[in-house]
Amino acid sequence: MRMKKIIVAIDGPASSGKSTTAKQLAKKLDCIYVDSGAMYRAVALYLLQNDINFHDKTMLRKALVAINIEIISSKHKEENTIILNGENVTKKIREPEITNYSSTIAKDGLIRERMVELQRKLAETRSIVMDGRDIGTVVFPHADFKFFVIASIEERAKRRWLENQNKGLGSKTLDEIKQELAFRDKTDSTREIAPLKKAEDAIEIDTTNLSVQQQVEEIYGIIKNEIFL
Ligand code: DC
């Protein structure tokens, strides 16, 4: 029996296992799952498609007004569907060019301000599990539960490599993937605004040696103890 509306924030570096865990956790808790990274990816796609330099603040302000991002999350479907100005871009935003560029544009204060506003709106009326980089520190500093998910860079590169193989996107070597992850780790954790970091009151979960099921059970166990009395 659910006691009240809850917000669960799950942050961590790329390929740490946070999204897989967050999706399954949301299902178990009967909550909505929101992938905040997908929003930054949608902005990156829009800026690239429309040839807009985000350093040009006049252009960027106009773009942020023109960008309409819908995150369709349903309790019956793990994956979020991302609609950018009426177009389903769920697949497109996973392309490598967008992956790297999303980390670059996520440094921008105007972009972050707009995304945080949208993210908070999504949680106004519903229980939610949201994953990202600054969910526990900036978006929901008063979240009911905060987790910071980490894993060694070797393990994260291996996971991403396997994921690529399974999707038939196998052209990158393990070493190339490791370098890309290191680039994103650095960009995400050294930026001035809302860098990737563990909130003081977040629980750290190291998934290096955990299966997906173990990760989910560990986090679910902590939440269950407090809300299902
Ligand atoms: O979670 P992801 O790898 O899909 O996110 C893509 C990029 O978006 C990531 O490199 C940094 C940025 N991001 C962010 O700055 N803040 C968030 N809450 C989520 C993602």
Asked which of 62-66, 167-171, 206-210, 220-224 is least confident by mean pLDDT, the reply is 167-171
Strands 128-132 and 7-11 come out as parallel
CA of 103 to the centre of ligand 1 (A): 6
Please say which residue of 104, 126, 148 terminates a domain.
126
Query: Quick one: 152 and 93 in the same domain?
Result: no
Examine the domain organization and report whether 78 and 24 are in the same domain: no
Give me the CATH number covering residue 14: 3.40.50.300
Q: What is the pLDDT of residue 227?
A: 83
- The answer to the question of residue 229 being in a domain is no
What spacing in Å lies between the alpha carbon of 229 and ligand 1's midpoint?
34
| 113 domain residue, yes or no | yes
Residue 187 sits in the same domain as residue 207: yes
Find out whether 130 and 119 touch, Cβ atoms under 8 Å. Answer: yes
Alpha-carbon Rg for the chain, nearest whole angstrom, is: 17
Among 126, 146, 172, the domain-final residue is 126
Res. 152: pLDDT tops 80:
yes
Residue 2 has pLDDT above 60, yes or no: no
Ligand 1 proximity of 134 Cβ (cutoff 6 Å): yes
Nearest CA to ligand 1 atom 3: 14
Kindly state whether residues 19 and 37 are assigned to the same domain.
Answer: no
Alpha carbon separation from 57 to 60, 84, 110, 113, 169 (Å, rounded): 5, 21, 8, 14, 36
Q: Confidence band (pLDDT; 50, 70, 90) for 208?
A: very high
Q: Is the CB of 14 under 6 A from ligand 1?
A: yes
- The residue to mutate among 16, 34, 40, having the most atoms of ligand 1 within 8 angstroms of its beta carbon, is 40
CA 153 to chain centre: 18
Residue whose CA lies nearest to ligand 1 atom number 13: 37
Does position 3 have pLDDT exceeding 70, yes or no?
Answer: no
Residue 86, domain member (yes or no): yes
pLDDT at 128 exceeding the cut of 70: yes
Q: Domain limits at 57?
A: 32-126
Lowest model confidence (mean pLDDT) among 45-59, 139-153, 170-184: 170-184
- DSSP letter (8 states) at residue 196: S
Domain co-membership, 36 together with 78: yes
Decide: 136 in ligand 1 pocket, CB within 6 A: no
For 40, 59, 86, 199, the CA distances from 66, given in Å and listed in that order, are 15, 11, 12, 33
For residue 229, pLDDT over 70 is answered with: no
Tell me, using a 6 A CB cutoff, whether residue 11 lines ligand 1: no
pTM over 0.85: yes
Residues 3 and 51 both lie in one domain? no
Task: Answer with the residue of higher pLDDT: 189 or 171.
Answer: 189
Residue 19 Cα: closest atom of ligand 1: 1
Q: Residue 226: how many CB atoms within 10 A of its CB?
A: 11
- 138 and 26 within one domain: yes
The verdict on 41 and 25 lying in the same domain is: no
Q: Confidence band (pLDDT; 50, 70, 90) for 169?
A: confident
Take residue 159 and report the two structure tokens written for it: 């996971």
Give the distance (Å) from ligand 1 centre to CA of residue 40: 6
Residues 127 and 7: beta-carbon distance below 8 Å:
yes
Same domain, 41 and 122: yes
Question: Residue 33: what are its φ and ψ, rounded to 5°?
Answer: -105, 135
Q: What is the count of structural domains for the chain?
A: 2
Q: Are 135 and 7 in contact (CB under 8 A)?
A: no
- pLDDT at position 87 over 90: yes
Residues 37 and 96 in one domain: yes
**How close are the terminal C-alpha atoms of the chain, in Å?**
9
Mark whether 24 and 107 lie in a shared domain.
no
The reply to whether 226 falls in a domain is no
Confidence tier at 200 by pLDDT (50, 70, 90):
very high
Nearest to 129 by CA among 215, 12, 23, 41: 23
What is the whole-number distance in angstroms between the Cα of residue 23 and the centre of ligand 1?
16
Using the atom order of ligand 1, give the atom closest to the CA of residue 191: 15
The domain boundary, picked from 108, 126, 144, lies at 126
Q: Nearest CA to 221 among 3, 4, 21, 17?
A: 21
Token pair, residue 9, equals 């924030």
Q: How many residues does the chain have?
A: 229
